[in-house]
């Protein structure tokens, strides 16, 4: 008999059972209006930008970077919002590079429902750290991902590394 190793990811059950729709529709604006950053996984706020750990990550370290003002299109952002968001994106990538040592990144923005945006009224970039071999037999054979670090542990690491809030 083969001894099977079990991989536990109990936080995924909330997403599987209920999907993301049980929270506020625009969770980015809702989390920005609240002060319970650890519970909401908010790791950074600047004057124009908010960074949140993805509660249902594709990979360990998956961040959402969004303007604090809810807009659906890039053309709706002010020059200050564009500049700040891009600086924050760059800073987050460097912090993830230092703290997690990924081999690369996927950075993307889905615009509109047809473009894959799960929250089309509040644009946000995804930063997904990638490691050689991170898409392996688990994803291919069983449609599962293994996330190796708890969201709370990652929140603490990034909050400390990103430094002071506004």
Catalytic residues: 124
Cα 28 to chain center, whole Å?
11
Instruction: Give the integer Cα–Cα distance in Å for 123 and 125.
Output: 7
Q: Is 109 helix (H, G, I), strand (E, B) or coil?
A: strand
Q: Is 11 helix (H, G, I), strand (E, B) or coil?
A: coil
Is the CA virtual torsion 88, 81, 166, 151 positive or negative? negative
Query: Please, are residues 92 and 51 in contact by the beta-carbon 8 Å criterion?
Result: yes
Backbone angles phi, psi at 92, to 5 degrees: -65, -40
């Amino acid at each position: 008999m083969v001894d099977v190793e079990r991989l536990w990811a109990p936080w995924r059950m909330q997403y599987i059972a209920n999907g993301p729709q049980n929270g506020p529709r625009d969770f980015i604006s809702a989390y920005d209006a609240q002060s319970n950053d650890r519970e909401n996984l908010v790791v950074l706020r600047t004057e124009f930008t908010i960074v949140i750990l993805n509660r249902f990550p594709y990979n360990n370290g998956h961040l959402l970077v969004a303007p604090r003002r809810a807009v659906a299109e890039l053309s709706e952002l002010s020059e200050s919002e564009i500049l700040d968001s891009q600086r924050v994106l760059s800073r987050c990538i460097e912090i993830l590079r230092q703290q997690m040592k990924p081999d690369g990144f996927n950075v993307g923005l889905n615009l509109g429902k047809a473009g894959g945006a799960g929250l089309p009224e509040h644009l946000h970039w995804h930063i997904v750290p990638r490691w050689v071999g991170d898409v392996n037999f688990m994803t291919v054979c069983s449609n599962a991902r293994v996330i190796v670090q708890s969201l709370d542990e990652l929140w603490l690491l990034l909050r400390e590394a990103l430094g002071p809030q506004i």
